[in-house]
């Protein structure tokens, strides 16, 4: 189901815009676009890239509002508690919408019921990388190595519950391998230690790992997306190495408070889709390692349910907790 949704999302959104003409809702004041992370990261950049073209089409400015804390929960709750009038949006992510509910016992809200889906916006794949000292030139050789020596290799992540943690735990569950987890305060130091050989393995986002791969400081063995990544055409997907269930994508989706009028949701979805067709928008997303993707509100709702179930299983079976 996840793969089907992703393929649909990658279809040219220009073909899916008829609702723009029929939607009569229009905002009556400037919109607020909440990003639950600090300025400068990929999620923040995508929101800022989208805010101008969306604002132009809505006839009101769209201001990005960074609300950080509690793994993104502070920003999400701010939107949940906002008026459902279409004037407050959220750039939600894999973690904030589908992983955090399994990590935090007392969030005080449920993303599936307290937010209204508008549409997918972007996606980023992960890549399995190893230090060159690891005696594995291919993914198959890597799997043979870790199965022969369970627990000997270690992987770095950006911290407990981060995507670079949960994606590896999914990989481990599907491949039935034992690799030790070493959490860091962010993905950058984890990548640095993978290059240095202090940890041997990482499943980093393609954008941040690519310079190290190209420089030969780490070796790329597989990507987690449904298709081979255009920047790494010779690197197989996890499906190609026999681990289709390990497919995983980090993504961002635009949401609104539950109860937002359907006409507002329809118009916002159409405007979002149109913004994502613009070449400057797509180019800027590519620069930060993201891919423009789209969906209808109903497709996003189904995708959120599937992702919530998927990551809940990973959190439970891998016994992931947050400090």
Domain boundaries, the chain: 2-124+250-318, 125-246
238: nearest Cα among 312, 317, 289, 167 = 167
The tokens describing 159, both together, are 């911290």
Strands 291-292 and 115-130 come out as antiparallel
Query: Is residue 6 scored above 60 in pLDDT?
Result: no
Q: What is the mean pLDDT of residues 237-252?
A: 96
With vertex at residue 268, the alpha carbon angle to CA 90 and CA 260, rounded to the nearest 5 degrees, is 65
292: nearest Cα among 154, 77, 91, 120 = 120
* Cα–Cα distance for residue pair 299/8, rounded to 1 Å: 9
With vertex at residue 61, the alpha carbon angle to CA 55 and CA 64, rounded to the nearest 5 degrees, is 95
The tokens describing 238, both together, are 């996890």
Cβ atoms of 39 and 317 closer than 8 Å: no
With vertex at residue 174, the alpha carbon angle to CA 170 and CA 178, rounded to the nearest 5 degrees, is 80
pTM: 0.83
* Cα–Cα distance for residue pair 126/32, rounded to 1 Å: 30
Residue 104: other Cβ atoms inside 10 A: 14
83: nearest Cα among 45, 32, 124, 7 = 32
pLDDT in tens, 167-217: 999 999 999 999 999 998 888 899 999 999 999 999 998 888 989 999 999
Helix (H, G, I), strand (E, B) or coil at 323: coil
Query: Is residue 102 scored above 50 in pLDDT?
Result: yes
Instruction: Provide the pLDDT for residue 241.
Output: 97
Superfamily of domain 2-124+250-318: Bordetella uptake gene, domain 1 (3.40.190.150)
Query: Which residues does 133 contact at the CB level (< 8 Å), separation at least 6?
Result: 197, 200
pLDDT in tens, 251-303: 999 999 999 999 999 999 999 999 999 999 999 998 887 899 999 999 999 99
Helix (H, G, I), strand (E, B) or coil at 4: helix
* Cα–Cα distance for residue pair 119/254, rounded to 1 Å: 5
Show the beta-strand stretches assigned E in the chain.
31-35, 62-66, 88-93, 115-130, 154-157, 180-183, 201-205, 219-223, 249-257, 291-292
* Cα–Cα distance for residue pair 279/282, rounded to 1 Å: 5
| H/E stretch holding 227 | none
Same fold for the pair 2-124+250-318 and 125-246: yes
Mean pLDDT, the chain, rounded, equals 91
The tokens describing 261, both together, are 């009028």
pLDDT in tens, 28-69: 999 999 999 888 888 899 999 999 999 999 999 999 999 998
Query: Right CATH number for 125-246 from 3.20.20.100, 3.30.70.20, 3.40.190.10, 3.30.70.260?
Result: 3.40.190.10
Report CA torsion sign: 151, 156, 157, 163. Answer: negative
């Amino acid at each position: 189901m996840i793969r089907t949704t992703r393929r649909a999302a990658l279809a040219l959104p220009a073909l899916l815009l008829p609702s723009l003409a029929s939607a009569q809702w229009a905002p009556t004041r400037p919109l607020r676009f909440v990003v639950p992370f600090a300025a400068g990261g990929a999620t923040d950049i995508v929101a800022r890239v989208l805010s101008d073209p969306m604002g132009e089409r809505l006839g009101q400015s769209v201001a990005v509002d960074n609300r950080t804390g509690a793994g993104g929960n502070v920003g999400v709750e701010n939107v949940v508690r906002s008026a459902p009038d279409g004037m407050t949006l959220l750039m939600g992510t894999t973690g904030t919408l589908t992983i955090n509910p399994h990590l935090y016992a007392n969030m005080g809200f449920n993303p599936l019921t307290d937010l209204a889906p508008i549409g997918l916006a972007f996606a980023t794949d992960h890549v399995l990388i190893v230090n060159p000292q690891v005696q594995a030139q291919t993914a198959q050789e890597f799997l043979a190595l870790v199965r022969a020596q369970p627990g000997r290799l270690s992987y770095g992540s950006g911290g407990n519950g981060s995507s670079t943690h949960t994606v590896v735990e999914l990989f481990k569950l599907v491949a039935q391998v034992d690799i030790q987890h070493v959490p860091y305060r962010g993905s950058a130091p984890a990548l640095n230690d993978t290059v240095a050989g202090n940890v041997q393995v990482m499943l980093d986002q393609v954008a941040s790992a690519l310079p190290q791969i190209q420089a030969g400081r780490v070796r790329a063995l597989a990507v987690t997306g449904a298709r081979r990544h255009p920047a790494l055409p010779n690197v197989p997907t996890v499906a190609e190495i026999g681990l289709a269930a390990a497919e995983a994508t980090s993504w961002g989706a635009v949401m609104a408070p539950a109860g937002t009028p359907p006409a507002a949701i329809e118009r916002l979805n159409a405007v979002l889709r149109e913004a994502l067709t613009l070449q400057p928008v797509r180019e800027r997303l590519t620069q930060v390692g993201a891919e423009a993707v789209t969906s209808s509100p109903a497709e996003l709702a189904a995708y959120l349910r599937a992702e919530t179930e998927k990551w809940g299983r990973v959190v439970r079976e891998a016994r992931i907790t947050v400090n």
